[in-house]
Copies of this chain bind each other. A is one copy, B any other.
Amino acid sequence: MRTFSPPFQNPSGSPIRELFKHLGEPGMISLGGGYPASDLFDLRGLQTAATRAWKQPARCLQYGPTDGLPELKDQVARVMLQRGVTVSPEQLLITTGSQQGFDLLLRVLVNPGDVVISEQPAYPAALQALKLQQARIVTVPVDAQGFDVARLAAMLESGEAGRPKLLYTVPTFANPTGATLPRDRRVALVDLALRYGFLIVEDDPYGELRFSGTPLPSLRALADGMGASQEHVVYLGSLSKIVAPGLRVGWMVGPADVIRRCVVAKQTADLCSVPWTQAIAALYLAQGSLADHLLWVTSIYRSKCDTLCDQLKVRLGDAVQFERPEGGLFVWARIDGADASELLKYAIARKVLFVPGKAFFVDHVDPSALRLSFAAPCIAEIMEAASRLASAFKTMSGCHRDGRI
């Protein structure tokens, strides 16, 4: 009886959130969500910041400016400077998580039917935001080195990619592939944005979680060195994976004309982000707690990642293929001849969760792919999870062989 707007007539929710109902089952080990480890939060540092924030209670409790508390904008500008990017206040917007930044950007820039390029496989909530905005999503494959920029160049040249307005990518420790774009591809990508006049959305929640290899400049930092092309990158940052998601503190760095319109969109979206957690985040960053915390967290994630990769090899041998990521939260694997969605049923019976790869595709689904997150479980749980996964795979293969399915 009720007529919803077209993208909401039969909306599907997040496929990952569908897994949540199994999370509470006793003994379940989850390699599913993209949650950072709760037991690694810097409770002491955050409590210190929270106690200090409360010394100005009215500042925590009253409405704040739509573009963010000035002290948090200052601290984020410092973070960006450490990442090689100089930001002025009118180029910076504090958002309710970086998810909101992407959403606001789509609202101000994308009309129904506009072409938006996305890497694939890609972060599902970005794909979902594009669908709800009724963008025409053109996918470009990701290989072991990330976004296939040469392929994009060919698609732009031939007209196959249309006239894109935006391009979405996680260039460093991508979700779900864990891949990192090498420097030459970064330069080539910024070059294409400049040449074809589209805006790159560089989503960078994981960049500081590096275990190995050499840090690379962000697309935004590279663009700064390539003339006016800083106009062609919007950078999305977040404290969710490096401090805590519950702060809901993200930010967007972009051209002033884009940011100004995103501020207008944010006025009607939520008036302002929570000033209380913004004040805490600003004090946390100001007290210099982040650098030490990152060293510690990264060393633990490195061990967890190594454990997962090693155990997958030990337990599954040549049946599993993956690249070891240099950072982030995810391992993207393919299991020989398996349908990951079917494997998940066997895995759930054995009390282990992962995300079947299809959640990350718009088209050309790779049914054998799966995303494994090593962030939340402890080392012993990761070892057990790999063993259960192998057992699930063997049972499934056995059933298939015996014609039981």
Contact = CB atoms under 8 A, between A and B. Distances in A.
A158 interface: no
A98 to B, nearest CB: 10
Contacts of A197: 1
Copies in the complex: 2
Contact of A111 (B6, B100, B270, B274): B6
A271 B97 contact: yes
Interface string A19-36: 010000000000001011
A47 B38 contact: no
A300 interface: no
A245 B17 CA distance: 29
A338 interface: no
B11 A261 contact: yes
A17 B245 CA distance: 29
A270 B248 contact: yes
The residue among A62, A273, A277 with the most chain B CB atoms within 10 A of its own CB is A62
Contact of A4 (B41, B46, B261): B261
A11 B263 CA distance: 10
19 contacts: A2-B257, A5-B109, A6-B111, A8-B108, A8-B109, A11-B264, A17-B267, A35-B63, A36-B62, A38-B61, A41-B57, A63-B240, A63-B246, A96-B274, A99-B269, A100-B270, A129-B268, A248-B271, A277-B277
Interface of A: 1-6, 8, 11-14, 17, 20, 33, 35-36, 38-39, 41, 43, 46-47, 50, 54, 57-58, 60-66, 96-97, 99-100, 103, 107-111, 125, 128-129, 132, 165, 197, 199, 240, 244-248, 255, 257-258, 261, 263-265, 267-277
